[in-house]
Amino acid sequence: MIQIKDLHKSYQMGSNSLHVLKGINFDVKEGELVSIMGSSGSGKSTLLNVLGMLDEADEGSYILDGVPIRNLNEKVAARYRNKFLGFIFQSFNLINYKSALDNVALPLYYQGMKRHERIEKAEYYLEKVGLAEWSHHLPNELSGGQKQRVAIARALASEPKVLLADEPTGALDSVTSYEVMDLIQGINDEGKTILIVTHEPDIAQMTKRIVNLKDGIIIDDSPVKQIRAKVHV
């Protein structure tokens, strides 16, 4: 699903150049649930941004579902993001003046889908994350866990190839975190490829594979015995 070869990325900080990714090689097969770990500054967020086409690598190749991702202009990148990727953010990033339902329907709006189809689909995914009854509530009427579930429904709505989650439980307490991880595991069970950036070991243990980053290189990449979040709920 994802093939990355010799990926480099540096940032220009004034006169200094900061080399963040120093040759990343890594493949993800369809249906995997991968966590990317590392301390802050290890380059894990940068890696996720490159994977998410929000940022472009300086060197190396990135192939997503057989499509080489390079030299994208903003328009094409937007189309690819819409088609291939679903984003889950630490701070949920829901649009606060839109109802839960409209938030979920937003990526479909950018696909050019008709309103009634969009609403139907958004309702389906809201139900899937267990929030059908909250569909007309605004984000500030929802709890943190509920907001993240709305965000997950939004990421799923466009039926992407890959879900990218940046610290999805970072703003949640541990009980809510496990509930969210349970939901993510359920989605993975249905065959969706998911990448999670996290620095919490217990969250990483709930994935099927842990990639450890340090100073811009992968120091460890090994499968783990998955702990079901249900046990903690």
Which residue ranges make up the site for another protein (CB under 8 A)?
49, 52, 54-55, 74-75, 78-79, 81-83, 87, 89, 91, 93, 95, 97-98, 102, 106-107, 109-111, 115, 154, 158
- Find the helix or strand (DSSP H, E) in which 36 lies: strand 33-37
Report the alpha-carbon distance of residue 198 to residue 39 in Å, rounded.
9
> Measuring CA to CA, which residue among 184, 183, 179 is closest to residue 195?
184
Angle value at C-alpha 83, between 160 and 180, nearest 5 degrees: 30
By beta-carbon proximity to another protein, the closer residue of 146 and 158 is 158
Report the alpha-carbon distance of residue 230 to residue 227 in Å, rounded.
9
Provide the minimum distance between the beta carbon of 226 and another protein in the complex, in angstroms, as a whole number. 28
Provide the minimum distance between the beta carbon of 44 and another protein in the complex, in angstroms, as a whole number. 14
77-104 in b/e form (b: 16+ CB < 10 A) is: beebbbebbbbbbbebebeeeebbbbbb
By beta-carbon proximity to another protein, the closer residue of 49 and 226 is 49
- Report phi then psi at 182, rounded to 5: -60, -45
Provide the minimum distance between the beta carbon of 225 and another protein in the complex, in angstroms, as a whole number. 33
- Report phi then psi at 180, rounded to 5: -65, -40
Provide the minimum distance between the beta carbon of 102 and another protein in the complex, in angstroms, as a whole number. 8
Provide the minimum distance between the beta carbon of 110 and another protein in the complex, in angstroms, as a whole number. 4
By beta-carbon proximity to another protein, the closer residue of 107 and 145 is 107
By beta-carbon proximity to another protein, the closer residue of 197 and 229 is 197
By beta-carbon proximity to another protein, the closer residue of 74 and 190 is 74
- Find the helix or strand (DSSP H, E) in which 7 lies: strand 2-13
By beta-carbon proximity to another protein, the closer residue of 87 and 134 is 87
- Decide: 44 and 102 in contact? Cβ < 8 Å: no
Provide the minimum distance between the beta carbon of 227 and another protein in the complex, in angstroms, as a whole number. 30
- Decide: 160 and 104 in contact? Cβ < 8 Å: no
